[in-house]
Structure formats: C-alpha cells, structure tokens
Amino acid sequence: MTDSVLAMAFVYLLAAVICVPVAKRLGLGAVLGYLVAGVLIGPWVLGFVGHEHHSVGHFAEFGVVMMLFLVGLELRPALLWQMRKPIFGLGGAQVVGTAVVVGAAALALGVHWKPALAVGLIFACSSTAIVLSTLAERGLLKTQGGQASFAVLLFQDIAVIPILAVFPLLAMVPAVLSPDAAAAAGDSRPGWQTGLMLFGAVAGVIAIGRFIVRPVFQFLAAVKVRESFTAAALLIVVGIALLMQQVGLSPALGTFLAGVVLADSEYRHELETDIEPFKGLLLGLFFISIGAQIDFGLIASEPAMIGGMVLATMTGKLVVLWSLGRVFGLDRPSRWLLAFSLAQIGEFAFVLLQFGMTERVFTAEFTAPLVAAVALSMGITPLLFVVLERVVLPRLADPGREARPHDEIATDAETPVVIAGYGRFGQMVGRILRANRIPLTILDLDPEMVELVGKIGVKVYYGDASRVDLLHAAGCEHAKLFVLAVDDKEEATKIVENVRHHFPHLTILARARDRQHYWELRKLGCAQVFRETFGSAYEAGIAALIKVGFRSYTAHRLAKRWRDHEEQTLEELGKHWGTKDYFARARMAMEEAERLMRHEDPTVYVERDAAWDNESLRADRKVDAAAIDAERS
C-alpha cells in the first residue's frame, strides 16, 4: 500500500516536474502542462495510473476548495458587495442563457425535455479551477474581463445549489424515486428544513470567521508553534468544506464565504501563506487527474459525435458569453476574454452528471459521452487561451481601443502644454501647471482614471497618446511642451517616437522608469528625462543627513553637489550601457562621488587661515604687487 502510494506520488510529481516547465517555456501555461502530464501518465498513453484516478481526483478537488478560500481572502465584503451587479446580472443571464441554448439544441436532437434541461444547466457551468488559475497565471484577474469572468464563476458556484435541488424533479422515472432512494440521494428533508439548514450553515461559517478564528489564532500565536498555525488553517478549510457537504452546499462556495469573512482579519496573510502551497499542489493534482480522465477510447470510437458536441457546446457558450459581455458593456478585449475563458464545461459537470444518474435523469449510456466531452472541453481550454492571446487579441489591439473611441477634443483646446498620462506623475506636473493657470490638454488611456479625475473637475481626454491622429487632435502642432508621464515603458517609447517624428518642434519632458529607460528616452531626443523615484529618494537622503546631525543648509548643499555629480555621470554612463565595461565604470563613478564628498570642502564659506586678517591681507597684497611688477617689466 505504502509502496503504491509512494509510487503514485512519484509518478504524479515527476510528470508535473517535467511537463509544467516545458509548457511554460512554450508559453502555453502551467494548467495545460498539468493536463498533458495527466494524459501522458493516464491509461491511454503510458498507463501509469488507471482506475484509482477517481479517488485521486476526489482528493484533488480539494485544491479547488482551497483556491476559492484564497480568492475569498482577497475579496473584502465591501468589494464583493460592489460586484453584486455583475455576479447576479451577468452571471444569472449566463447560466439561464446557456441552459436555454444547450437545452434547445438537445431538444432539437430528439432528447426529452427533462434531460435536455438538465444537460443545459450542467453545461452552463464553467471550470473555476482552470479559469481562475489561468487568469491568475497570466495576470488577467484584475482586468475588466477577468473580473467579469470571476463574477460569472461565482454565480455558477452559487447556482449549483438550486440545480441540485431541481434534479429530482427532472427524473425520467419518478415512480422509482421511492422514499428510500430519495434518502439515499441525501434529500429526505422537506424543503423548509433544507432551507433552514442552508441558512444555518452560512450563518455558522460567518460566525466561525468572525468569532472563533481570531481567539484561536491569538492563542496559537502565543504558543508559537509554526505547524499548529498551518494545521489550524487547514482545519478551517476542511471543517467548513465538511459542514457544507453535510447540508448539501458546494464546499468551494462555503470556503469562499469563509475567506471573504476573514479578508478583513489581521491573520489574512498568515492564512494565505499557510494554504497557498497546499492549494498549488492539489490543484496541479486536480488538473493531472482531469487529463488522465479523458476517455480516448470512447472519443476514438465516436469521434464525430463527441467532437461535434464539444465544438457545438463551446461555440454556443462562446456566443452567449460574448453577447452578454456586449449587453453588459464590457469593452471588446474584455468581451473576448470572457467568452474564451468560460467557454468550457467545468468540473461541476462530473459531479452533476453523476448525481443526475443517481436521480435517474440520465442513463449511463447517455452520460458516458457527456463525461468525455466535458473532459475534452476542459483539456482544450488552455489552448483556447493561447489562441486568444496570439490570434484574437493582437487583431483587436488597435480596433480594440476603438471600443471606446478616443474623446473628441474641443477645438479651443489649443494649449501650450500637452500631458500624456495622468497618473501619479502626470498629476503632480499638471497640478503645478494648473495652479499657475497654464492651460493643459491632458490625455490618458485608463478610463477609470479619466472618470476619477473628472470627478474632481479636471478634464482628461480618454485616448491613446501613441496615435498620431490623437496627437493632432490634442493640438500638438500649436503646443510648445509635451510632458510624457505614462508609466508604461513601451508605450512611452512609442509616443516619443511619434512626437519626435511628427512634431519635431515640441520640447519633451519625459518620465523614466529607471536608468536604462532614461538613456533610451534621451537618445530618442527628450529634452529632459526624470527618473520617477529620483526626486523623492533625493529628498529622503537630505532628510536622513539632517537626522544624523547635519545642519539643514549644509545637508542641502551636500546633497545638491552629489546630485550634480550623479546627473553628470548618468549622462556619461549612458554611453557605456550594454558594453562590458559598464559595471566597472559605474563603480568608478560611485567611488569618485564618494571621494569628492569626502576630500573637498563641501561648503565654500572658508576663511583660508585668517584670510580676512589684516597682516595676511597685506602680505597678499605684496605678493600681488610683486606679480604685477614682474609682468610689467
């Protein structure tokens, strides 16, 4: 037994260790790596794992539960409340819409309405595990499309509860549903009782989060045993999952709720770091087991049927999602992201199909190809992301911004100064200029920023400053000064190139991320470049000198002297950036600065040994007179 467990662990880990880095290297993402690993070790390729994968899969599903707990930790209740509209609006519409489309298709194929509706509901759910990990891996979670996807997934998790509840009503042979069978399915209680239990469980989770976790952690913190912290964190997740299962709620939903409750607590980071590694491993395991579950035998025997089903379902979901994205006002790239990321059928389908069989909604023959289709659709999701990123989004890139056409810029906006980018940097420059009544034309590409600043009465035009037509519209021909304050390096470079090329008369003041960017912008012809953190660090340096006892005026003079040297060497060093003697030169420059500060008198108010003393003045005068005499003769 131990042997086989260790051997299995070895196989799984080895597969993951090999496939994941390869997949990442190829730019395909870790999730696809795990899936491929699963396929490889599964019964159809190497056959290392066979039937036991079901139990592994069960165990691995816990990864999803943990993931939702972590997601909840990131979402403070207030934030969740803000998202109620996309969750219930967009999410609700998606589940209903997909169920209708898929159900109608099934009906058209001659399936009875009851199983057709059940399949519709099941296929409406997407894979929380795959989608959230992929979005997180690609840094898309915080984008508009990512947030929308998250909202829909959350609604689906909630929707599983009523779906489970209606399945018994969809049974094809209701007569068989004797009280015994119903009890076996775990649903002998009357409706009101179930409702009460649900309510009680949710209240219980909130109470645990609010009142129990804190004192327990305080106690553990006092004892100072690291593992007990980890154990307690796991205990919370496992306990809540169990409780949820008992009352027939989705464990993932329950732990998510617990996460939200704990998001405000001071132990949030503690919990996060404790759970994170478990989640990572278990999720990996989960993906591997999905890969291993794909029944290639069945697919090979019925390729057209299963392939067609996957294709039709995913296309249908895609269309529904895309349209809803449009209705709910997502911009174009976000719409595509939403549609592509949620087009698959999720892991809930496995559970629900199983449940449907117990409830006699489906027969076993009916279910088998569906399971294969679900696994396949999950398997190709990472590929869809690759298509989205490499094919769809790049095409969208330019017209995509058209989604919100750049603002019409008033013709009287001919101002002497144009500012591109109105974030922390641009705002500071802008405020100083505005305070001195210099008219500005301000451009920014972040709709939120445009709106936010608009609220305090500053007119910022939405638009991409790297586009020449917008630069024209912003009045660059008539302006004198262009302040480049965007934070994105590539964007900045693109803008400078365009401004230099089309409006060579403009003086450019540019914000740079770092030295390298500084040199790049200088080379492109910016009159002056400012490293974005230099100013505040410089001030902090002066404050530090004062704190260690220098007089303020002296500290300022010393720092300024250092700064002059620094700026001069920066220009010098730029010529050597990228060559192999760069570091040697950088070190030399630093040593030079230190030598300079140490040996030369920093302040010039020096009386060189009694310089203002009478005798010495007189002596000097004699020397001067002698020199003048010598010159004359």
Partner 1 sequence: MARSQGRAWGQTARPCAFGQLTPPVARPLLATMPRVLVLLAHPVLERSRVNRRLLSAISDLESVTVHDLYEAYPTLSIDIAREQALLVEHDVIVFQHPFYWYSVPAILKEWQDLVLEHGWAYGAGGTKLRGKLTLNAISTGGPAQAYRKEGYNRFTVRELLAPWEQTANLCGLRYLAPYVVHAALKVTGESDIVTPRDGYRRLVTALRDDQIDLERAARAENLADEIDAVLAPREVA
Ligand X SMILES: Cc1cc2nc3c(=O)[nH]c(=O)nc-3n(C[C@H](O)[C@H](O)[C@H](O)COP(=O)(O)O)c2cc1C
Residue type, position 491, single letter: E
Q: Which tokens in the block code for residue 168?
A: 């018994």
Q: How far is the CB of 598 from partner 1 (least distance, A)?
A: 17
Cβ-defined contacts of 189-197 (< 8 Å, 24+): 194/165, 194/247, 194/248, 197/247, 197/248
- For residues 156-170, one letter each, b for 16 or more C-beta atoms within 10 angstroms of the residue's C-beta and e for the rest, the string is bbbbbbebbeebbeb
- For partner 1, the binding residue among 390, 502, 551, 595 (CB under 8 A) is 551
Q: How many residues bind ligand X (CB under 6 A)?
A: 3
**What whole-number distance in Å separates Cα of residue 417 and Cα of residue 423?**
17
The span from the CA of 619 to the CA of 499, in Å, is 63
Minimum separation from the CB atom of position 528 to ligand X (A): 33
Answer whether 521's CB lies under 8 Å from 510's CB: yes
Tell me: does residue 607 bind ligand X (CB under 6 A).
yes
Bin 27: left if φ > 0, else alpha if -120 < ψ < 50, else beta. left
Phi and psi at residue 127, to the nearest 5° = -90, 105
Query: Applying CB under 8 A, does 552 fall inside the site for partner 1?
Result: yes
**Of 282-321, which residues contact partner 1 (CB under 8 A)?**
none
* Complex with ligand X: residue 618 or 632, whichever CB lies closer: 618
Binders of ligand X among 353-382, rule CB under 6 A?
none
Three-state SS annotation for 92-106: HHHHHHHHHHHHHHH
CB of residue 564 to ligand X, shortest distance in Å: 21
Pattern 454-483, partner 1, x by CB under 8 A:
------------------------------
Determine if 192 is a binding residue for ligand X (CB under 6 A): no
Instruction: For the CB of residue 611, give the shortest distance to partner 1 in the complex, in Å.
Output: 7
Q: How far apart are CA 119 and CA 309, in angstroms?
A: 12
Tokens of 8: 């299995």
Q: How far is Cα 206 from Cα 210, in angstroms, rounded to an integer?
A: 6
Rank residues 553 and 583 by Cβ distance to ligand X and give the closer one. 553
Nearest distance from residue 611's CB to ligand X, in Å? 7
Helix (H) or strand (E) segment spanning residue 556: helix 552-574
Q: Give the long-range contacts of residues 567-574, CB within 8 A, separation 24 or more.
A: 569/593, 570/515, 570/518, 571/522, 573/515, 574/515, 574/518, 574/519, 574/522, 574/523
Segment 281 to 300, residues that bind ligand X, using CB under 6 A: none
Rule CB under 6 A: is residue 614 a binding residue for ligand X?
A: no
Work out whether 631 is an interface residue with ligand X (CB under 6 A): no
| Cα separation, 125 vs 94, whole angstroms | 9
d(CA 414, CA 3): 78
- Is residue 33 within 8 Å of residue 245, measured between CB atoms? no
Is residue 612 a contact point for ligand X (CB under 6 A)? yes
Interface with partner 1 includes 193 (CB under 8 A)? no
* DSSP strand pairing (528-531 vs 507-512): parallel
- For 54, 106, 470, 485, 504, the CA distances from 476, given in Å and listed in that order, are 65, 59, 9, 16, 10
Around Cβ 365, how many Cβ atoms within 10 Å? 7
Residue closest to 170 by CA, chosen among 250, 94, 126, 111:
111
How large is the angle between the packed helices 364-387 and 303-327, nearest 10 degrees?
Answer: 60
Q: Could you tell me the smallest distance in angstroms from the CB atom of residue 617 to partner 1?
A: 7
Choose the stretch contacting ligand X; rule: CB under 6 A; options: 477-485, 509-517, 586-594, 604-612: 604-612
Q: Supply 101's token pair.
A: 């489309």
Residue closest to ligand X when measured from CB atoms? 612
Q: Binding partner of residue 373 among partner 1, ligand X, none, CB under 5 to 8 Å per kind? A: none
Site track 505-544 with partner 1 (rule: CB under 8 A), x = hit: ----------------------------------------
Task: Provide, rounded to whole angstroms, the least separation between the CB of residue 477 and ligand X.
Answer: 51
For residues 192 and 605, which CB has a smaller minimum distance to partner 1 in the complex? 605
Closest distance of CB 607 from ligand X, Å: 4
- Binds partner 1 by CB under 8 A, chosen from 193, 553, 579, 619: 553
CB of 604 to ligand X, least distance (A): 8
CB-nearer residue toward ligand X: 609 or 631: 609
Among partner 1, ligand X, none, what binds residue 44 when CB lies within 5 to 8 Å by partner kind? none
Choice between 358 and 616, CB closer to partner 1: 616
- Find the DSSP H helices in 263-363: 268-293, 296-301, 303-327, 332-341, 348-358
| Radius of gyration, alpha carbons of the chain | 33
Identity of the residue, 581 or 601, whose beta carbon is nearer to ligand X in the bound complex? 601
* Residues 559-618, interacting with partner 1 (CB under 8 A): 603, 605, 607, 609-614, 617-618
Among 412, 547, 601, 605, binds ligand X (CB under 6 A): 605
Query: Any idea which residue has 């500071």 for tokens?
Result: 428
Q: Is 547 in the site for partner 1 (CB under 8 A)?
A: yes
Strand order across the beta sheet in which 481-484 lies: 461-462, 440-444, 417-420, 481-484, 507-512, 528-531
Q: Which does 93 bind (CB under 5 to 8 A by kind): ligand X, partner 1, none?
A: none
Residue 618 interacting entry, from partner 1, ligand X, none, C-beta within 5 to 8 Å by type: partner 1
Region from 8-16, 90-98, 507-515, 550-558 binding partner 1, contact rule CB under 8 A: 550-558
Using the contact rule CB under 6 A, the part of the chain among 181-189, 297-305, 472-480, 605-613 near ligand X is 605-613
d(C-alpha 464, C-alpha 152), whole Å: 30
* Contacted by 412, from partner 1, ligand X, none: CB < 5 to 8 Å by type: none
Backbone angles phi, psi at 443, to 5 degrees: -120, 140
> Considering only 202-210, 482-490, 511-519, 552-560, which stretch makes contact with partner 1 by CB under 8 A?
552-560
> Which of the choices ligand X, partner 1, none does residue 546 contact, using the CB cut-off of 5 to 8 A by kind?
partner 1
Binding mask 562-601 for ligand X (x = CB under 6 A): ----------------------------------------
Nearer to ligand X by Cβ, of 3 and 607: the residue is 607
Closest CB to ligand X among residues 180, 607: 607
Shortest Cβ 557–ligand X spacing (Å): 14
# binding residues, partner 1 (CB under 8 A)? 21
Contacts to ligand X by CB under 6 A: 605, 607, 612
Which residues lie near partner 1 (CB under 8 A)? 546-547, 549-556, 603, 605, 607, 609-614, 617-618
